[in-house]
A and B are shown apart, each in its own frame.
Chain A
Amino acid sequence: MNATAYVAIGYGLSAIALITYTWRVLTRGRRVSAEVPEERRRWM
């Protein structure tokens, strides 16, 4: 494999990891926030 392949793998895996993590945080935030009353979500 040449260097370009390693670059592609590096960027690809990092993108997958970061997108998956972001997705999980955002969707879990959505789900959990439904269980918390309005007045306790102070940033809204």
Chain B
Amino acid sequence: MTTTVQPTASRAAGGAGPLGTGSRFTRVLGIVVLVMVAFQLALALWWSPPELLQGQAVRLFYLHVPMAITGGYLAVGLLAVGSIGYLWKRTPFWDLLAASAGELALLFTGLTLLTGSLWGRPVWGTYWEWDPRLTLTAVLFLLLVGYRAMRNAITDPDVRARRSAVIGLLAAADVPLVRLSVDWWRGLHQTTTLNPLDPELDGLMLFTFFFSMVTFAALFLWLLVHRFRLAWLDEQVAAHGLQDAIAERRREAAPAPAAPSAAGEAPAPRVADPAVADAAGGAS
């Protein structure tokens, strides 16, 4: 730990905390999440019984449904909140929240599709079925891919934040419409799923189901905090890199008029700096 802290002298002098995106909160939450995941795996893979119709395949549901709900509802909801928040307040916080939630939504939605296909093969007999919910998830996945592609395509932070906020809001607004259309489209197509509110469902299965839900929500929160801080750091580096570059250009530009002056006379060239730099900037 101390060796990694060394490179920047200021931090060594300040005696500050470790590098990275962790804090006391995330460390505690991280440990809780790890314990919960271990317990969830034991419940889902070992303690809970196989289901009557689906057999062992039901165990994929303890993965699939929580990921679908955290990714499709929680993460996409936060993407919408962040996007609206940015358009309203215009502060980086909301933009970075939307960016982090959008990326996690993409990850979770992708895994939802994967586990859904793997569940469909033994239960439905096919990897893919044009089930309304599956179709909706696929469209949502593509919308999120587009959101990410948009963010990667723009380097200017302000333009990126503004356009991404519009895209995030539109993508979230599109979800209910897509949902309605695929429901009507495949209206007569009822497929086997698991209804957690089914009173016939075994008590332990029900508990496993809800525990998995809470586990994934906690995991999502933990990842979101880390991802948000990483996005914040990236933004700081980008902004600082620019500031450093500007400062360097000014230092380059400064000596020209002030060249004869002695090194000891520091304040004078510094006063002249902005005008020189502005002139240089206007010319380039």
Query: Are any A and B Cβ atoms less than 8 Å apart in their complex?
Result: yes
Query: Quick check: A3 and B56 within 8 Å, CB to CB?
Result: yes
How extensive is the interface on chain B, given as a class?
Answer: 35 or more
How many Å lie between the Cα of A22 and that of B104 in the bound state?
11
With both beta carbons as reference points, the residue of chain B lying nearest to A21 in the complex is identified as B107
Count A-side interface residues using an 8 Å CB cutoff: 31
CB proximity of B21 to chain A, nearest CB, Å:
3
- Which secondary structure characterizes the binding site on chain A? helix
| B8 with A7: CB separation less than 8 A | no
From B7, B118, B226, give the contact of A26 (CB < 8 A): B226
A36→B236 contact, CB < 8 A: yes
Q: Considering only CB atoms, which chain B residue lies closest to A41 in the complex?
A: B233
A14: nearest chain-B partner, CB-CB: B111
Q: Which residues of A contact B64 (CB under 8 A)?
A: 10
Interface of B is mostly: helix
Whether A38 lies near B237 (C-beta < 8 A) is no
In the assembled complex, the Cα of A18 lies from the Cα of B64 at a distance in Å of 13
Q: Within the assembled complex, what's the spacing in Å between the Cα atoms of A40 and B236?
A: 8
* Cross-chain contact A30 with B19 (CB below 8 angstroms): yes
CB distance from B179 to the nearest CB of A (A): 24
Partner among B11, B57, B63, B240 whose Cβ is within 8 Å of the Cβ of A3? B57
- Given A3-B57, A43-B23 in contact, is the A34-B111 Cβ separation under 8 Å? no
B202 adjacent to chain A (CB < 8 Å): no
* 8 Å CB contact of B237 from A7, A21, A26, A36: A36
Q: Restricting to A7-44, which residues have a CB under 8 Å from any CB of B? A: 7, 9-11, 13-14, 17-18, 21-22, 25-26, 28-30, 32-38, 40-41, 43-44
Q: Which one of B10, B19, B240 contacts A33 once the chains associate, using CB atoms below 8 Å?
A: B19
Quick check: A34 and B229 within 8 Å, CB to CB? no
B197 interface residue (CB < 8 Å to A): no
Contacts of A11 in B (CB 8 A): 41, 45, 59-60, 63
The chain B residues found within 8 Å of chain A, CB to CB, are: 4, 7-8, 10-11, 14, 16-17, 19-23, 25, 41, 45, 54-57, 59-60, 63-64, 67, 107, 110-111, 114-115, 118-119, 121-123, 219, 223, 226-227, 229-230, 233-234, 236-237, 240
List, sorted by A's number, 20 A–B pairs whose CB atoms are closer than 8 Å: A2-B56, A3-B122, A6-B119, A6-B121, A7-B56, A7-B60, A9-B118, A10-B63, A10-B119, A11-B63, A13-B114, A14-B114, A29-B22, A30-B4, A30-B21, A33-B233, A34-B4, A36-B237, A37-B10, A41-B233
Chain A to chain B: the 10 pairs with minimum beta-carbon distance, closest first: A29-B21, A3-B122, A3-B56, A3-B57, A10-B118, A32-B233, A30-B20, A29-B230, A43-B23, A36-B236
